[in-house]
Structure 1
């Protein structure tokens, strides 16, 4: 039997990149997956089509996070798609990136916190009555939270996600709900598409990564699938780096 057969999952920001890979992997493990998207409906439908072509089940939910009424739209779509079933797995993946400290505007600052922190916080809060005891919450953070980088605001939002994960794990332990955070490294997604045309930068990143390459979406999706499974029943409150050993120390 598939490890997630009979279970349901919501993956935010699942129309492309890491969210898409996570949705496809959870569906391949047997879950009915709600594929949330902010604006790219065509890409979300493509994700669902790929899942269904492989024999899985999925449906789309459109809601631009960080805007008025976002959660009302999201949960109306979720409850319709679940048709009375509870939610078993929540993957908070949706997020926005920001520019360098010197160029970040107040509007960009507010948007980053609205999407990466505020929406994640209140989405999770609202999901709790739907979430089955013994369920899973997996928050997507970033390996940059242990580094110093120019994109300070993005880094700050992801640090907040790390803190939230630990607190929720303690709070939801009595319900048997595990809460963990995944911290990806530099991964070959649309967010890092600039690397595809910059072989020098790619080689530099590979040179300070212990496993010697960029991450792939499937590398991260596999970690999420583990945390969503029964095998991870005794793992909660952790932030798991999935970076391939990025910047562990001096080379050579």
Structure 2
């Protein structure tokens, strides 16, 4: 349970971050526990996280602001291990280095800054730009479906440690409007709710392999066919190409010899 000072401080900070949210960041405390905050970071432009929706939690100690929160990011990002505590100078890994003047907005701005860098720490991972873009493209699906686990019954979220198995229940309870937007996005973009993938396009007009000359003129098409025939003939010997001429000559010679020896 939060102390009176922590409750008062976090209430004031919620009002402040609501009225003046930092760029790319939104956050609020849970209705049931003011020490449990939920944030969403939107991936900034010119980063591999662009357009991604990264959801995480800040779990504050009862004596905040004299001790820092535990920081987690639940959405897979290619930067942090999902739902793992992050070792940062602004997190509970380093309580002695925490400045009581720092606020929730300060903590989240620091997290975003670290996310877009390449520094490594406990809870961070190394990934390619392509892998991070892949996670960004699937982040909205992951948040609202629990990584597709919404199709499995009895999924339960762990306290402060939300993972894919909860079916998106925790995200939905904390961000109902965002969750509704995500589901509209999933349907509009024809995303498979089970896998997060788009179906492969089907070419209904194609019934077999194409030669790649459909857009060519008639003369160009014939030229391609002629080249193919020439290449085929180039691989055959003279006897193979003139086998019928040879067979006819042999037959004529055979009949001629029979007549000559028959008359003799």
Q: TM-score, normalised by structure 1?
A: 0.23
Query: Of Structure 1 and Structure 2, which has the larger fraction of its residues in helix?
Result: 1
Higher relative contact order (CA 8 A, sep 6+): 1
Q: TM-score, normalised by structure 2?
A: 0.22
Pick the structure with greater CA Rg.
Answer: 2
